[in-house]
Structure 1
Amino acid sequence: MSDDLAQAFAEHAVRVRLSDLSPGVVTAAKTFLLDTLGVGIAGSSGANVRTVLDLAQQWGPGDEATAWLGGRRMSAGSAAIVNAYLIHCLEFDCVHERAVVHPMATLLSAIFAWSEREAAQGRPVSGARFLTAMAVGVDLAGLLGVATDSALRFFRPATAGGFGATAAIANLAGFDVATTRSAFGHMYGQTSGNLQAHLEGSPLLGLQIGFNARGAIAACDLAAAGMQGPLDVFTGRYGYFSLIDPDVHPERVTAALGREWQIEKLSHKPFPSGRLTHGVVHGLRDLMAQHGFTADEVAEVVCRAPPLVLRLVGRPNVPDPTSNYAKLCLPFVAGVFLAKGRCDVPDFRGAALRDPDVHRHAAKVRLEPDGNTDENTLDPQVVEVRLASGARHAITLPRIYGHPEMALSAADNEEKFFRCCRHAVPPVPESRAVALRDLVARIETLPDVAAIVALLAGTD
């Protein structure tokens, strides 16, 4: 059977040029490029980053690309692993909510590494080409998630993300349709990403994104060398949708390609925790502002949410969680906000994970199903608070703060970026942060995007 989705995706990947992108798409691309660079910088403070850096350099020594942490040079594939881990390890990177995909982590780590390798060989990648590839990659990753109604069984940011990165590289490399389809086949052979790592709060979660970023580079190298990959990789008998996300609706893809750019549908993460925990923080923030009660007056918090929320972040609060577990535990995240009036990077590491005030407030939080049957949505949500006085207050959230319909402003996006730079280890000097912001703002004029990496890693 011919894989019409593979054909449609490949045609889209090779066809798109910067002139096809509306001003809104270009603005969204710059917004989430800056956001992703910021969270990658802050990721230098995350758990296990030095271990990942050292091992990746052993796995792929060389002088092709740069690890953003410390500026070490290594193979393009290894740099992609390190940088993907930096982007995702804090759970602070943007998300396509309907797709349940973090497309930028896999995408940017892969295409920056590939672009650096190209520059080293005398073929620099311009900012205009890079922006175009970003839009293509987010389309592929996002629409793979949008196309399915299946409950999440694999870690879609990794599995779908790898195909997004492959499509983006195909666009940059000037592949034809046949070569692009072959690259998809080689990517499918390397696709990985399980939810057990998510359930246990394992650092493998971010590494899975890195493995697929490396896989995208290898897939495109294999296809460019003329090695044929399988072709019917999406809707074939043993294809992606048959084995990973079986409840597929291909018409959603064909209706959207080239018409609805998925990069405009990305949501910010205003807090460094699982996106599915953000509703309770949003609700508590607004209820406390509206009704003037304090955290110590709260006797109970009930969050009524769709099944995806309960299944992925409805885990029990534990007394000494790992950083990864805490970020994906809704009661803990709510406890952080109640105890500190914020949710920021330092609140999910070291002694903060054992803060007795956080755990005291977390014990007040419970989740209830809301009757929604959609397995891939995080809203609407209802947050209800019962005070020690007996008073009750509730709020219904049709959308969660950070969604495109409740987006961060341009100023808020910049504030998050500069805050992330201050959270880096070591902190990024403000002058370098400002220069990086300004470089992203004029990326379409850059003759070589490797300049962004040099500034990012402090090797310029």
Structure 2
Amino acid sequence: MSEQTLGGLVADFAVTAGTDGVPDDVATSVQQRVLDVLGLCVAAHRLPTSAAILAHVVDQGGHPQATAIGLPTQVTAGQAALANGVLAHSLDYDDTHLPSVLHPSAAVVPAALAAAEHGGASGEQVVRAVAVGLEVAVRLGMAGYDEELGNSVYFEHGQHATSITGAMGAAVAASLLYGADRKGVLDALGLTASMASGIIEANRTGGTVKRLHCGLAAQAGVAAAQLVRRGFTGPPTVLEGRFGFFEAWLHGRYSPTAVSAGLGTEWSVPGIFFKPYPANHFTHAVIDAGLAFRARGVAPEDVVSITVGVAPSVIRTIGEPIEVKRAPETGYQAQFSAPYAVTAGLFGGGGLGLGLDDFTDALAQDPARRAVMARVEVVPDQRCGAIYPHQFPAVVTLRTGSGEELVEEVLANRGGPARPLSDDELGRKFTDNVAGRLDPAAADAVRRGVLDLRAAGDLSAVLTQLSSLTTPEEPS
């Protein structure tokens, strides 16, 4: 029976790629994504929630098996996956696949690193497992993409596809690294389907629970792989069954060909978008517009009004409730605010245009910024809607006190295939993320080691560098 199931097809693909390898462009992309995730894990140490999750995993105790970034003592593989998944996703700076609108690396990479370190896997095995896990997560996400609706059905249901399909991808990656065969991978999918979860209401009205999502997904994937090794089994029809994954999450409204078509020959991994800015991806084109206005000589005090036109589907995330989005209380809330995004662009920043230090509590509450935010409207734009979710475009109109009307159209996102980040820009992002917390020599060793991960016998040389971080004085 399992031979005809979608889960069986996924398991066949996973084991074949794990044995035979993946294309060079896929492997290169994976190494870049591992580096990106590790930089984000280091950068996230600035957050109180990061201290909380690290304290939590230390408190759980258990056998030393894997590294949680920034902890000098190893924890269990599951706890390392949890901690690093939380760190990787906490800054909203992790990669995005479109049009599924999910962030696969923040769940898959932490699970793979934990399982690999625990099981003593090679760098080549890690690259293959991450590639497969990312591909599975993306394909399950795309199975819930409705072309007619122009949006993810997961999202329409209030579900966080990242943590749901990310858990499934994490399970496949971890299973391969623990040496699972085809049946073991399929069983791990069957177990993980009962662990995957996540809702996204916090995007709208606040709360830090979303930071947990990728950590819980990574932990679920590792736990499922470990439990299968001890004899637990799952249903072979876990994906398409009457009470399976797609019925539970999508109410039976899914595309099986999104999972099966070209599986093993057509890879989504290289096309996943890197994030140049540490904010919700829906805001990135809005940031670009703000930066462009600044480059044209517009000062914040010149602004009379700003109209941000975006795809109708994203307004509930970055434009509603508008009174909240115009007055974010925290840097985290500012990451989900279109009024803050265009305002921050006008004020200018660091990093690749805006950096982590441009999203602080103090700046979110800054009276000068709030004065501009109060003049921002967020409205539906039909042209943006026609492009979404293949890109997250914005058309922004700014009116000045002199009566001038300026328009910036940003129809493609930086970091994707249409506007890729260069190797230097990705390197700068990593360097910015670890600055002040990782010694420059250690940072260079990590960067070189990860970008040549396929040649590594194991992960020890990289992860040892990340087990101890310094704590710089943070901006208020």
**TM-score above 0.5:** yes
Residue 101 of structure 1 pairs with residue 114 of structure 2: no
Query: 1:314-355 CA distances to partner (integer Å, 9 max, x unpaired)?
Result: 233254523322211221222222234452212223422311
- What are the residue-to-residue correspondences of 1:352-363 with 2, within 5 Å? 352-363=363-374
Q: Distance in 2 between matches of 1:256 and 1:175?
A: 23
Are 1:313 and 1:329, in contact at CA under 8 Å, matched by a contact in 2?
yes
- Aligned position for 1:121: none
Shift in Å at residue 454 of structure 1?
A: 1.1
- Aligned position for 1:348: 359
- Aligned position for 1:114: 115
- Aligned position for 1:410: 423
Q: Which runs of 5+ in 1 are unaligned?
A: 119-123
Q: Which amino acid aligns with 1:276?
A: F
- Aligned position for 2:173: 168
Q: Distance in 2 between matches of 1:375 and 1:154?
A: 19
Query: 1:242-296 CA distances to partner (integer Å, 9 max, x unpaired)?
Result: 222343111122223112222211111111111111010112223443x433333
Q: Which amino acid aligns with 1:169?
A: A
- Aligned position for 2:36: 35
- Aligned position for 2:375: 364
Residue 68 of structure 1 pairs with residue 69 of structure 2: yes
- Aligned position for 2:413: 400
Shift in Å at residue 72 of structure 1?
A: 3.1
Shift in Å at residue 156 of structure 1?
A: 1.1
Q: Distance in 2 between matches of 1:239 and 1:375?
A: 29
- Aligned position for 2:257: 251
Q: Distance in 1 between matches of 2:229 and 2:90?
A: 32
Shift in Å at residue 199 of structure 1?
A: 2.6
- Correspondence for 1:272 among 270, 273, 278: 278
Q: Distance in 2 between matches of 1:161 and 1:403?
A: 20
Partner SS, residue 231 of structure 1: coil
Q: Distance in 2 between matches of 1:386 and 1:256?
A: 49
Are 1:14 and 1:170, in contact at CA under 8 Å, matched by a contact in 2?
no
- What are the residue-to-residue correspondences of 1:10-409 with 2, within 5 Å? 10-17=11-18, 20-118=21-119, 124-148=120-144, 149=146, 150-151=152-153, 152=155, 153-246=158-251, 247-289=253-295, 291-315=296-320, 316=322, 317=325, 319=327, 321-342=329-350, 343-371=354-382, 372=385, 376-409=389-422
Q: Which amino acid aligns with 1:143?
A: R
Partner SS, residue 466 of structure 2: helix
Shift in Å at residue 378 of structure 1?
A: 4.4
Q: Distance in 2 between matches of 1:238 and 1:262?
A: 28
Cα separation, partners in 2 of 1:95 and 1:399, compared to 1, 3 Å: same
Partner SS, residue 396 of structure 1: strand
Are 1:303 and 1:383, in contact at CA under 8 Å, matched by a contact in 2?
yes
Q: Which amino acid aligns with 1:23?
A: D
Cα separation, partners in 2 of 1:155 and 1:198, compared to 1, 3 Å: same
**Structure-1-length-normalised TM-score:** 0.92
Are 2:391 and 2:411, in contact at CA under 8 Å, matched by a contact in 1?
no
Are 1:69 and 1:457, in contact at CA under 8 Å, matched by a contact in 2?
yes
Query: 1:83-133 CA distances to partner (integer Å, 9 max, x unpaired)?
Result: 111111111111112121111111111111112211xxxxx2111111111
- Aligned position for 2:473: none
**Structure-2-length-normalised TM-score:** 0.89
Deviates more, 1:126-135 or 1:221-230: 221-230
Q: Percent identity?
A: 28
Q: Distance in 2 between matches of 1:286 and 1:339?
A: 11
Q: Which amino acid aligns with 1:410?
A: D
Q: Distance in 1 between matches of 2:440 and 2:236?
A: 48
Shift in Å at residue 216 of structure 1?
A: 0.6
Q: Distance in 1 between matches of 2:40 and 2:240?
A: 35
Q: Which amino acid aligns with 1:418?
A: T
Cα separation, partners in 2 of 1:445 and 1:20, compared to 1, 3 Å: closer
Are 1:302 and 1:366, in contact at CA under 8 Å, matched by a contact in 2?
yes
Q: Distance in 2 between matches of 1:54 and 1:299?
A: 47
Q: Which amino acid aligns with 2:367?
A: P
Shift in Å at residue 411 of structure 1?
A: 0.4
Q: Distance in 2 between matches of 1:80 and 1:163?
A: 14
Query: 1:417-456 CA distances to partner (integer Å, 9 max, x unpaired)?
Result: 101111x5xx211111111111112211111113221112
Q: Distance in 2 between matches of 1:40 and 1:286?
A: 30
Query: 1:284-317 CA distances to partner (integer Å, 9 max, x unpaired)?
Result: 223443x433333222222222233212222332
> Across the two proteins, how many residue pairs are aligned to each other?
450
Q: Which amino acid aligns with 2:446?
A: L
Q: Which amino acid aligns with 2:445?
A: A
Partner SS, residue 398 of structure 2: strand
Shift in Å at residue 390 of structure 1?
A: 1.9
Partner SS, residue 67 of structure 1: coil
Are 2:204 and 2:317, in contact at CA under 8 Å, matched by a contact in 1?
yes
Q: Distance in 2 between matches of 1:135 and 1:29?
A: 6
Partner SS, residue 397 of structure 2: strand
Are 1:276 and 1:313, in contact at CA under 8 Å, matched by a contact in 2?
yes
- CA RMSD across the alignment: 2.1
Q: Which amino acid aligns with 1:349?
A: T
Q: Distance in 1 between matches of 2:453 and 2:349?
A: 36
Q: Distance in 1 between matches of 2:203 and 2:392?
A: 20
Deviates more, 1:188-197 or 1:242-251: 242-251
Shift in Å at residue 203 of structure 1?
A: 1.7
Q: Which amino acid aligns with 1:326?
A: A
Q: Which runs of 5+ in 2 are unaligned?
A: 147-151, 470-476
